[in-house]
């Protein structure tokens, strides 16, 4: 994983102590890994992971729709598993390894098979839901065995899309899975 975030992005910067608050509230120092780069930050206990990523690390690829767990736009990978960043506190992620959509193809790196499939299959229209779908689909392609159709439907049901009608999203995910599992369960589709 490249760490080009370090030069262009505050992700790797150690965040200075926060300004004092009017009301008492616990602040904690957390250390975690975001897209392969180590991050140390002071966070307020109540800071949601989605807001930490977007407002503090300026990783605005993670979108925020409903902010109560229903739409899936904010889905990121926490230790490899897709999870709602709006239903996770930043402070719960101390020691965790996070991946967001920015980490998939940083800088000039080629798109991942999942990203390419969304492009080729027209798996998006406005794109608001896309980062969440892409992270869930990425986790599906990283499973040791090809997930069956029911597992794919179950995983995609955790995301809402108001534009596409889902068919092209499912096609994209199937294309990425075909590529990844072309040589049997151990094959690497890249």
Ligand X SMILES: Cc1cc2nc3c(=O)[nH]c(=O)nc-3n(C[C@H](O)[C@H](O)[C@H](O)COP(=O)(O)OP(=O)(O)OC[C@H]3O[C@@H](n4cnc5c(N)ncnc54)[C@H](O)[C@@H]3O)c2cc1C
Question: Which residues of this chain interact with ligand X, rule CB under 6 A?
Answer: 69-70, 87
Q: Report 127-146 residues binding ligand FES (CB under 6 A).
A: 127-129
**Nearest to other proteins of 116, 174 (CB atom):** 174
Of 102, 85, 185, 110, which Cα lies nearest the Cα of 142? 185
CB of 132 to ligand FES, least distance (A): 8
Could you give the angle at which helices 149-156 and 167-180 cross, rounded to 10 degrees? 130
On whether the CB atoms of residues 59 and 100 are closer than 8 A, the answer is yes
User: How far from 80 is each of 10, 16, 135, 182, CA to CA, in Å?
Assistant: 23, 29, 10, 22
Taking the C-alpha atoms of residue 133 and residue 123, their distance in angstroms, rounded to an integer, is 10
CB of 158 to ligand FES, least distance (A): 8
**Nearest to other proteins of 14, 45 (CB atom):** 45
On whether the CB atoms of residues 45 and 26 are closer than 8 A, the answer is yes
Binding of residue 45 to other proteins (CB under 8 A): yes
Residues that bind ligand FES (CB under 6 A): 64-67, 69-74, 84, 86, 124-129, 161-164
Residues that bind other proteins (CB under 8 A): 21, 23-26, 28, 44-46, 48, 51, 64, 66-70, 72, 75, 78, 81-84, 86-89, 91-92, 94, 136, 153-155, 157-158
């Amino acid at each position: 994983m490249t760490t080009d975030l370090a030069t262009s992005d505050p992700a790797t910067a150690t965040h200075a102590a926060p300004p004092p608050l009017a009301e008492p509230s616990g602040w904690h120092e957390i250390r975690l890994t975001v897209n392969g780069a180590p991050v140390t930050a002071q966070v307020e206990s109540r800071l949601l992971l989605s807001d930490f990523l977007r407002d503090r690390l300026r990783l605005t690829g993670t979108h925020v729709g409903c902010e109560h767990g229903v739409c899936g736009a904010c889905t990121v990978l926490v230790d490899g598993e897709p999870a709602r960043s709006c239903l996770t506190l930043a402070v719960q992620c101390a020691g965790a390894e996070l991946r967001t959509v920015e980490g998939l193809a940083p800088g000039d790196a080629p798109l991942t098979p999942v990203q390419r499939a969304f492009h080729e299959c027209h798996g998006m229209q406005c794109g608001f839901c896309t980062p969440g779908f892409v992270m869930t689909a990425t986790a599906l392609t990283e499973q040791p065995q090809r997930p069956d159709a029911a597992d794919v439907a179950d995983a995609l049901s955790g995301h809402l899309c108001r534009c596409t009608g889902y068919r092209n999203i499912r096609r994209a995910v199937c294309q990425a899975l075909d590529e990844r599992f072309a040589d049997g369960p151990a094959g690497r589709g890249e």
